[in-house]
């Protein structure tokens, strides 16, 4: 069985469209009544719940951005009483950039069903052993795939991230068949397994890899090393988590679970809705969720939507892999990083804000370096004193970002400037 909910995944377009229109109208009404923040935005735009009758009316609604999430933090976009919520998930990153999402039990169920669809599309059934080494906790990766695996009825191994030797041992001992993790960790695991000469001991047949960008070349490499089929999965905490869209056996884009999440492509500069097939910013509207149903949320991911018929039989629209961002956010080792966060830390620690972020990918793993120019205030004739300041800075950066960069102190005026403006980010990754 390659579908989890065939009736939805392969529904005739008209059926799906009718369902979407009905759910959208209902959700807009629910949000208008319960979320003062969005009601104000709608009122300002002169649009009321009665104006939204079908998916065609979607462009009438105001957008939401990460700035709105910050302004409304933590409860401002909550659409149900807190006592109806059963779960919180969050992104890494601190003040101002952290996303906190709320879920009712129904919200959790539909999210897990989306993940179940992804697992089923990767060939997962009750007979599989699903090895989840996404992080568990506030991060949606672990809980999402874990829940999806339960829905499928597979035997779930909630490994969480890290401890590679143990991962490999469990994989061999318990016969894991489907691996869920970030693509870079999959590549690392593959190298470890091959390096330990245990390729014959594993029973993996598929992998579901997401939360960071990866290339087709990387996919083929992982597939070859592990002898599996590798599937992409996409999602974001704001909308639910992993499983907003997922790949099928055709591996030519990710099917969006559009019975729950309406997708649009807009021109990031004008906000104008673009036709299917055009490249632009991906925007999602949640039409089934209760607790945190963001409408027209701008993901800042640049991609293309396609309604072309898929050989897998699904009628769900497909999105390309994100091709870039319409803001300056970087995704490093699966973690969202904004240059402004680094600036905040530097200024707070008494460093000049003259910095440069250098991101690269070595052996499929992101490297992340923050170069900071040395100043007289920072300098000392004692190595220990400078090293201590460097360590303090590293600790602050780690606390702010959720991942550790390598901090390098460089001579004044060595950070490249173009037309007087410093180049803040050098991303050498070729994805």
Alpha-carbon torsion (309, 240, 238, 217), positive or negative = negative
Strand ranges inside 161-228, DSSP E: 178-181, 206-210
User: 3-state class of 189 per DSSP?
Assistant: helix
Name the residue nearer to another protein (CB basis): 174 or 387: 387
Count residues binding another protein (CB under 8 A): 18
Name the residue nearer to another protein (CB basis): 227 or 412: 412
Chosen residue from 380, 391, 416, 422 binding another protein by CB under 8 A: 380
CA distances from 349 to 31, 346, 372, 402, 412 (A): 41, 5, 12, 17, 18
Name the residue nearer to another protein (CB basis): 14 or 381: 381
Cα 55–Cα 59–Cα 63 angle in degrees, nearest 5: 120
374 binds another protein (CB under 8 A): yes
Q: In 1-87, which residue ranges form alpha helices assigned H by DSSP?
A: 6-9, 13-34, 36-45, 66-71
First CA to last CA distance, the chain: 33
Chosen residue from 44, 83, 126, 382 binding another protein by CB under 8 A: 382
420 binds another protein (CB under 8 A): no
Q: How many C-beta atoms surround the C-beta of residue 13 within 10 A?
A: 10
Question: What DSSP state is assigned to residue 316?
Answer: S
Strand pairing report for 365-373 and 355-362: antiparallel
376 binds another protein (CB under 8 A): yes
Encoded tokens for 191: 């190298």
CB of 382 to another protein, least distance (A): 6
Place of tokens 């014959």: 200
Residue ranges in 385-414 that form contacts with another protein under rule CB under 8 A? 386-387, 408-414
379 binds another protein (CB under 8 A): yes
Peptide bond into 194 cis (omega under 30): no
CB of 352 to another protein, least distance (A): 11
Chosen residue from 165, 173, 200, 381 binding another protein by CB under 8 A: 381
CB of 425 to another protein, least distance (A): 20
Chosen residue from 12, 383, 421, 430 binding another protein by CB under 8 A: 383
CB of 348 to another protein, least distance (A): 21
Name the residue nearer to another protein (CB basis): 163 or 408: 408
CB of 411 to another protein, least distance (A): 4
CB of 394 to another protein, least distance (A): 12
CB of 307 to another protein, least distance (A): 52
Name the residue nearer to another protein (CB basis): 138 or 358: 358
Question: What DSSP state is assigned to residue 170?
Answer: H
Interacting residues with another protein (CB under 8 A): 374-376, 378-383, 386-387, 408-414
């Amino acid at each position: 069985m390659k579908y989890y909910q065939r009736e939805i995944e392969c529904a005739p377009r008209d059926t799906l469209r009718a369902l979407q229109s009905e759910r959208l109208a209902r959700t807009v009404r629910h949000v208008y009544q319960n979320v003062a923040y969005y009601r104000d935005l709608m009122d300002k735009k002169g649009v009321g719940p009665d104006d939204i009758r079908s998916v065609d009316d979607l462009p009438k609604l105001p957008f939401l951005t990460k700035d709105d999430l910050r302004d409304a933090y933590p409860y401002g976009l909550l659409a149900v009483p807190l006592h109806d919520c059963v779960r919180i998930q969050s992104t890494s990153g601190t003040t101002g950039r952290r996303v906190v999402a709320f879920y009712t039990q129904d919200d959790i169920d539909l999210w897990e069903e989306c993940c179940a669809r992804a697992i089923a599309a990767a060939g997962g059934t009750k007979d599989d052993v699903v090895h989840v080494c996404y992080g568990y906790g506030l991060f949606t990766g672990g809980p999402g795939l874990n829940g999806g695996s339960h829905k499928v009825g597979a035997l779930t191994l909630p490994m969480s991230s890290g401890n590679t030797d143990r991962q490999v041992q469990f994989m061999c001992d318990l016969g894991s068949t489907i691996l869920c993790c970030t693509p870079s960790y999959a590549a690392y695991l593959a190298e470890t397994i091959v390096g330990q000469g245990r390729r014959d001991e594993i029973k993996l047949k598929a992998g579901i890899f997401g939360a960071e960008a990866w290339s087709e070349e990387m996919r083929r490499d992982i597939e070859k090393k592990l002898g599996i089929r590798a599937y992409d999965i996409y999602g974001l905490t704001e909308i639910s988590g992993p499983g907003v869209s997922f790949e099928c056996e055709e591996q030519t884009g990710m099917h969006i679970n559009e019975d729950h999440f309406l997708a649009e492509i807009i021109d990031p500069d004008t906000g104008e809705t673009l036709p299917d097939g055009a490249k632009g910013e991906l925007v999602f509207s949640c039409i089934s969720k209760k607790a945190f149903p963001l409408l027209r949320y701008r993901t800042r991911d640049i991609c293309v939507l396609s309604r072309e018929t898929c050989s897998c039989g699904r009628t769900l629209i497909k999105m390309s892999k994100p091709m870039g961002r319409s803001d300056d956010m970087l995704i490093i080792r699966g973690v969202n990083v904004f240059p402004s966060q680094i600036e905040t830390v530097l200024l707070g620690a008494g460093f000049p804000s003259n910095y440069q972020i250098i991101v690269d990918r070595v052996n499929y793993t992101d490297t992340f370096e923050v170069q900071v120019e040395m100043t007289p205030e920072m300098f000392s004739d004692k190595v220990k004193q400078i090293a201590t300041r460097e360590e303090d800075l590293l600790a602050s950066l780690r606390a702010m970002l959720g991942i550790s960069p390598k901090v390098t102190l460089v001579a004044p005026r060595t950070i490249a400037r173009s037309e007087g403006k410093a180049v803040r980010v050098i991303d050498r990754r070729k994805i």
